A and B are shown apart, each in its own frame.
Chain A
Amino acid sequence: MRSGKILISVSIFLVFFIGLEASGQKIEYIKVPDLEKILNNKENKLLVVNFWATWCAPCVKELPAFEKVAGEYNESKVRFIMLSLDFPSQIESQLKPFLKKNNLTLDVSVMMDTDYNSWIDKVDPQWQGNIPSTLIVNHEKKTRYFHSGEIDEPELRALINKFL
């Protein structure tokens, strides 16, 4: 009887666990110190950070370009982070269903610090906070490029090749 209960609990746990895995999406919740860590990380990879949100139509439009281009580079050479600026109150209602529906394979992080003024300049002093925007950093060569506004597939590929 007791072992039956345990079995049921275990199977519920497994179903839950597999269910999570099946949706395939790892979301990281970050705050300003984590963002600084990402931006100042000295790993030997090109870093591509795309600032987006599900509520931003041009951002959503360019996601497939990021998915496609990311697939063309070895993960050991280029690290992509899709940094969502969705409202924290809409993570469950908007972001998670969106990720599930669109099967995004890229890493998604969500910025939980909404005091934007405290961190926008850390990304780039020229950034006015408009999204989409994309930051490319090569720590080794100490090069950095900030792209304000939309970007298309050839442009993204060209920028990565230029800064790699």
Chain B
Amino acid sequence: MKKIVMVISTALLLVFQVRADGPFRPGDKASDFSLKSVKGEMVSLADMENARGFIVVFTSNVCPVAKKYEQRVIDLHSVFSAKGYPVVAINSNDPEANPGDSFEAMKKVASEKGYAFTYLRDESQDVAKSYGATNTPHVYVLSKKGENLKVEYVGAIDNNSDDATKANKTYVADAVNSLLKGESVTVPSTKAIGCSIKWKN
């Protein structure tokens, strides 16, 4: 009997693990993580108790597209963190492929640019893999109900990486604004040209 219970619970655990794994699409349940921030502490989404959701941004210090979007990420945080949707930036790139994405380089960029948002190192690349992030920048807007995280939007920040002033679709801001009004997200996923995440061999 004990054995059967164990087998069943292991099977259930496996099923739930598979379900909590990516690539995450809108509507999926998202998983939390624990990653080291540039301030040196381990951070989980659960730690941010007052948040109503999160703007998770997979990014890079050196990817030219991510650099184009850096100011827009800073702006998203300054607009939406007070409303309960802080930016949580994650760098998953292999520092051997991109030395400019090392933890030290992340600390330097965060302090030089005065990042007010949490900037995390995904050393094992497990978070990028479980979310299904492929590019930088690659955004996941999550909403939080109790302890549950739900994927509300996946994709680009807006529709003009070259020039923010020429973007006429501000996907992430629109998604968060809809959620803040209690509405569903009109455009729940988009694609954009970006640098591929540099995976470890």
- Chain A contact residues, CB within 8 Å of chain B: 51, 53, 55-56, 58, 85, 87-90, 114-118, 120-121, 127-131, 149
Hey, which chain B residues are within 8 Å of A55, CB to CB? 64-65
Where the two chains meet, the residues of B that have a C-beta atom closer than 8 Å to any C-beta of A are: 64-65, 68, 134-135, 155-156, 159-163, 166, 169, 190-197
B193 with A131: CB separation less than 8 A: yes
Q: Report B134 CB to chain A, min CB distance, Å.
A: 4
Known A-B contacts: A89-B162, A116-B193, A117-B155. Give 8 more (CB < 8 A). A55-B64, A116-B192, A117-B156, A117-B192, A127-B191, A129-B135, A130-B135, A130-B194
| In the complex with contacts A127-B191, A129-B193, A130-B196, A116-B134 CB distance below 8 A | no
How far apart are A151's CB and chain B's nearest CB, in angstroms?
13
- Determine if A56 and B162 form an interchain contact, defined as CB atoms under 8 angstroms apart: no
Task: Please determine whether B134 and A115 come into contact, CB atoms closer than 8 angstroms.
Answer: no
The residues of B that contact A85 with a CB separation of less than 8 Å are 193
A66→B190 CA distance, assembly (Å): 30
The 4 closest A-B pairs by CB, nearest first: A130-B196, A55-B64, A87-B162, A128-B134
Taking CB atoms, residues of chain B closer than 8 Å to A56 are 64, 195
Quote the shortest CB–CB distance from A147 to chain B (angstroms). 12
A-B contact pairs, 14 of them (CB 8 A): A53-B64, A55-B64, A85-B193, A87-B64, A87-B68, A89-B162, A114-B159, A114-B166, A116-B161, A117-B159, A120-B192, A128-B191, A131-B193, A131-B194
Once the chains are docked, how many angstroms separate the CA of A90 from the CA of B163? 11
Which residue of chain B is the closest to A115 with respect to CB atoms?
B159
**Please, which residues of chain B bring their CB within 8 A of the CB of A51?**
193
The distance from the CB of B26 to the nearest CB of chain A, in whole angstroms, is 14
Q: Are A130 and B134 closer than 8 Å at their CB atoms? A: yes
User: Once the chains are docked, how many angstroms separate the CA of A150 from the CA of B63?
Assistant: 16
